[in-house]
Structure 1
Amino acid sequence: MNKWPDLNLRRYTHILVNIDQSAIFVQSGHIISVMDPGRHRIDPEELPILGVLAAEFCGGDYYRAALYFVPNYPLQKYDSVEGSETSPIR
């Protein structure tokens, strides 16, 4: 997981979401929006909820939200070693 380095996202910034990731916008601990893989422009047409927040809090030039790039592939689970459940430890 990677995080955008700044909480202020300039309006009309282009972001590139890799094929194996999703971009998640978080504000005050709540997920505001999720973007699928591809090239996106951060603007009110693509993210209407961010447009409202920008106009209300930042004068319309910046969006204030944390942006995380999260992998969307299944993570491997390492909770058991193969064969350890059936054979006793001696």
Structure 2
Amino acid sequence: MSYEYQLILSWHFFATSRAKGVVDGIVGSVKRIVWQQILTTKDKCENATDFVNIAKTKTKAIIIDKITQKDIDKSIAQLQAFFSNTLSVKNNQKLHKVTVV
């Protein structure tokens, strides 16, 4: 993947943030923005499309887009094909940094 997209990929693991990251903070911010808009206006948020539309109008700093189930299924198929040829790393819980070579 790093070769295909010409990216340098690395992961840093910390015990205090194994399951949290920047994405979690961004998601929380967007949810709060949409929730505040719903509370202070007559905007309705009844589905994902409504959520995306409200979020897009209230923030320009975060790029927001809706993905379809078809997009997800396509990505799953691509990732399964990619990872079917990879080997697992033994004792990975002891690692603190991994860099793709």
TM range (shorter): under 0.3
Instruction: State the TM-score, normalizing by the size of structure 1.
Output: 0.23
The structure with the greater share of residues assigned to strand is 1
Give the helix-richer structure, 1 or 2. 2
Query: What's the TM-score, normalizing by structure 2?
Result: 0.22
